Amino acid sequence: MNALIRFSTFIGNTFAVWVIIFAVLAFVVPGGFQWISPYINILLGIIMFGMGLTLKFKDFKQVITAPKEVITLVIAQYTIMPLIAVGLVFLFQLPAEIAIGVILVGCSPGGTSSNVMTYLAKGNMALSVTATAVSTLLAPIITPSLILLLASAWLPVSFSSMFVSIIQIVLLPIALGILVQYLLGNKVEKAIGILPLISVIGIIGVLSAVVSNNVENIISSGLLIFGVVILHNLLGYLVGFLLGRVLRFDLSDTKTVSIEVGMQNSGLAATLATTHFSPIAAVPGALFSVWHNISGSLVANWMSKMKQNSQDSKQENNMSEENLNNIKN
């Protein structure tokens, strides 16, 4: 078991590398990965169940103890990235299906990878975990509402269908994970060490399925989409960081806002695109999955070298490897 946990930790720590490797393989040998497509929803559900297993009721205490930071971050998550997405769609005059995909990424909740990047950046991990959890739990209402508001001009959008999908593949698995963790307690703690491995397999499965079914679309429009994805992600980091500064958050919280805003649950975006729109609409989410793990690692490394004030240093000292393992999924 210990060997498996060590292997799981290694895979989690080298996640970005595996994402790139399998994205390239799925592009070069699509036939080897297309069989995964019918299982995309199941894979994402497993990832969300793993997230639920790592959450405890005490993780939400930040909502009470630091409501300003949590509420600000969640609002920023659901306003900054959607507005940037719409702006990029108009700026580059993107075709309807690609436009939907970009907006889907912008309207998705925070990605769980952001928790790991926040740790590496020496940010406020408690705030990161809470904000990711809260934005994810709000996703069944907010994500389809935003899609209906912002994307219905391009293609028909069904709020009810997307609501049901997000309940099924996000909310129910998370709730089940929290319940299992609450009922089994210490028994679950022993298994949490292998969650990074399970999550990486799930995310790579979703990514590989989307890429393998969109090889022609990526060849014809991939460069444009990738450029938009990079801008979307980097502008999210930048605007998030500036927002933290404007609101006079300390450096630790400012880093967290930047990373949480910039990193999205792009796996969910790709899944919703495949289920409710078209295969090409899933390409922005797939490319975002590849890119934001690369950029997140680089940004986190840069942020970790920023000068810490006394309060940030105290928060940093309170972080532990155990915390990191508990939030990786």
- Segment 66-70 shows an average pLDDT of 82
Task: Compute the residue count for the chain.
Answer: 329
Question: Which residues lie closer than 8 Å to 44 by C-beta, 6 or more apart?
Answer: 169, 170, 202, 206, 267, 268, 271
- Tracing tokens 């709730």 back to the chain, one arrives at 175
pLDDT, position 320? 43
Structure tokens that stand for 321 in this block: 């490897």
pLDDT, position 227? 92
- Tracing tokens 């169940």 back to the chain, one arrives at 49
Neighbours of 317 (CB within 10 A): 8
Range in 145-154, 208-217, 305-314 the model is least confident about:
305-314
- Segment 29-45 shows an average pLDDT of 86
Give 259-282 pLDDT, tens digit per residue: 999 999 888 888 888 888 888 888
Give 133-144 pLDDT, tens digit per residue: 889 889 999 999
Structure tokens that stand for 8 in this block: 């799981």
Task: Look up the pTM and report it.
Answer: 0.82
pLDDT, position 43? 84
pLDDT, position 45? 84
pLDDT band at 168 (very low <50, low <70, confident <90, very high): confident
Average pLDDT, the chain: 82
Question: Which residues lie closer than 8 Å to 124 by C-beta, 6 or more apart?
Answer: 69, 118, 252, 253, 255, 256, 315
Give 101-152 pLDDT, tens digit per residue: 999 999 999 877 787 788 778 888 888 888 888 898 899 999 999 999 998 8
pLDDT, position 237? 95
Distance CA 236, CA 328 (A): 22
pLDDT, position 329? 43
pLDDT band at 311 (very low <50, low <70, confident <90, very high): very low
pLDDT, position 312? 45
Does residue 192 have a pLDDT over 80? no
What is the rounded (10 degree) CA torsion for 69, 65, 136, 289? 50
3-class secondary-structure state, position 7: helix
- Reply yes or no on domain 40-184+217-327 having CATH 1.20.1530.20: yes
